[in-house]
């Protein structure tokens, strides 16, 4: 039972973290139609910014500043790069962000080296929140989950409950109309892109300390983030939340299942046959844990291409 509770909790928190990164990606896509390949790079930038600033201003302030800096980089990218190629169409924007992700990764390698840097959870936050049985649960994980939930609530409220949200939503659905009514649509787009980048930066600053901060972290999380956005539905914030939690929990639970299809077939008395065939039939579920999200994406694309909560095309 303890194990199950922990697996569930682990899955939810990891899912929330994935949400923090994917929120910005899905937001930008929903608003601007740009699939931002450099999005995970902002996650990495956030971690490195926080690592650099940590020694100067302390951990808490470093995290906030890192998010702001990542947001500023995002704003700059939108203002001086994306806007210029916007009228050439989506393919150009996609290639631009793709190239940008390489430039950021290589710059990080040049400045900080190829190995993970020494960015860790500060001692004051490094304690156990509670213990169940013989296992402790780190407080920092709960903090990560809390930050993600607060972030979700804040964006949700901003978009649906405030005047800014109305303008932003108007700028997405009817950009020309919004412009005709006197709103600066360019500014809105820039702001949205910046906020998206800042969210990823925040996630990086928080998670980089708990996991590792290295030049590959964008690659590591990037693929999973795309899976989440596709599964949840491109552009849907709620969908991203649902898909993140789903993937987090499924992966976490799968690790604990040391069963294979052969075990399932054993109930029909076909175990010997299955073991004779081997291959996929005798593979333990636990050894496939990291592959399951991709299988889920395949399934979603086959039966519901618009994603779990995506809008009808």
Cα–Cα distance for residue pair 252/22, rounded to 1 Å: 19
- Interface with other proteins includes 37 (CB under 8 A)? yes
The residues near 107 (Cβ < 8 Å, ≥ 6 apart) are none
Q: Which residue in 28, 172, 210, 235 binds other proteins (CB under 8 A)? A: 210
Between 21 and 155, whose beta carbon lies closer to other proteins?
Answer: 21
Q: Residue 213: helix, strand or coil by DSSP?
A: strand
Tokens, residue 51? 């690592």
Does residue 10 contact residue 255 with C-beta atoms inside 8 Å? no
Write down the least CB distance from residue 59 to other proteins, Å: 14
Q: Which residue in 6, 165, 261, 285 binds other proteins (CB under 8 A)? A: 6
Cα–Cα distance for residue pair 30/24, rounded to 1 Å: 10
Q: Which residue in 64, 72, 75, 117 binds other proteins (CB under 8 A)? A: 117
Q: Which residue in 61, 131, 150, 177 binds other proteins (CB under 8 A)? A: 131
Cα–Cα distance for residue pair 207/221, rounded to 1 Å: 11
- Interface with other proteins includes 10 (CB under 8 A)? yes
Between 164 and 223, whose beta carbon lies closer to other proteins?
Answer: 223
Q: Residue 103: helix, strand or coil by DSSP?
A: helix
Q: Which residue in 287, 295, 298, 301 binds other proteins (CB under 8 A)? A: 287
Start-end of H helices in 33-162 = 39-57, 59-77, 83-85, 90-112, 139-161
Question: Pattern 72-91, binding to other proteins, x per CB under 8 A?
Answer: --------------------
Cα–Cα distance for residue pair 90/181, rounded to 1 Å: 26
Q: Which residues bind other proteins (CB under 8 A)?
A: 2-3, 6-7, 10-11, 13-14, 37, 98, 102, 114-120, 128, 131, 133-138, 140-141, 210-212, 214, 216, 219-221, 224, 248, 251-253, 255-256, 284, 286-291
């Amino acid at each position: 039972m303890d194990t199950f509770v922990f697996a569930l909790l682990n899955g939810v928190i990891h899912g929330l973290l994935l949400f923090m990164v994917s929120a910005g990606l899905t937001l930008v896509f929903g608003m601007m139609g740009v699939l931002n390949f450099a999005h995970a790079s902002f996650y990495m930038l956030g971690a490195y910014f926080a690592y650099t600033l940590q020694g100067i201003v302390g951990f808490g302030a470093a995290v906030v500043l890192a998010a702001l800096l990542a947001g500023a980089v995002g704003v700059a990218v939108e203002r001086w790069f994306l806007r210029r190629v916007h009228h050439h169409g989506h393919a150009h924007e996609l290639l631009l962000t793709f190239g940008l992700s390489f430039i950021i990764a290589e710059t990080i390698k040049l400045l900080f080296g190829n190995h993970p840097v020494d960015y860790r959870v500060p001692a004051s936050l490094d304690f156990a929140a509670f213990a169940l049985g013989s296992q402790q649960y780190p407080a920092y994980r709960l903090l990560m989950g809390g930050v993600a939930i607060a972030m979700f609530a804040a964006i949700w409220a901003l978009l649906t409950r405030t005047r800014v949200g109305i303008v932003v939503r108007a700028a997405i659905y009817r950009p020309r109309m919004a412009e005709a009514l006197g709103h600066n649509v360019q500014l809105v787009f820039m702001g949205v892109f910046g906020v998206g980048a800042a969210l990823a930066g925040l996630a990086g600053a928080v998670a980089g300390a708990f996991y590792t901060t290295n030049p590959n972290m964008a690659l590591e999380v990037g693929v999973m983030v795309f899976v989440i956005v596709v599964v949840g539905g491109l552009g849907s914030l709620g969908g991203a939340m649902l898909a993140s939690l789903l993937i987090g929990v499924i992966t976490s639970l799968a690790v604990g299942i040391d069963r294979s299809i052969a075990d399932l077939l054993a109930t029909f008395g076909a175990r010997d046959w299955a073991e004779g065939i081997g291959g996929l039939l005798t593979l333990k579920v636990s050894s496939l844990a990291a592959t399951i999200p991709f299988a889920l994406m395949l399934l979603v694309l086959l039966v519901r291409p618009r994603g779990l909560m995506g809008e009808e095309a």
